[in-house]
Amino acid sequence: MSKKVHVVPQNGAWEVKVEGNPNPLSNHQTQAEAIDAGKPFAQQHRSELVIHRPNGQIREAWSYGNDPHRSRG
């Protein structure tokens, strides 16, 4: 899977969603819970976990796949 996994705000809660899929993988009360749920999924699928802020902007992204920009040294 090369599609990114997103942790996004949704109606006062947080969802874990796969890019291109309108249905969430899971719903959570806190961002931390959503990150904990999304991280293993992104790792298993060698994808990227994109964490959003409450306003929807991207806060940070964690890559678990082949990152062509990662240092090899």
* Domain residue limits, the chain: 5-63
The 10s digit of each residue's pLDDT in 15-45 is 999 999 999 999 999 999 999 999 999 999 9
Q: How far apart are CA 71 and CA 13, in angstroms?
A: 36
Cβ neighbour number for residue 73 with a 10 Å cutoff: 2
Residue 67 has pLDDT above 80, yes or no: no
Pick the closest to residue 1 from 49, 56, 71, 37 (CA basis): 49
Q: Is the pLDDT of residue 56 over 80?
A: yes
| Residue 72 pLDDT | 43
Q: pLDDT tens-digit profile of 8-18?
A: 999 999 999 99
- pTM attached to this predicted model: 0.86
Q: How far apart are CA 31 and CA 44, in angstroms?
A: 20
| pLDDT value of position 2 | 66
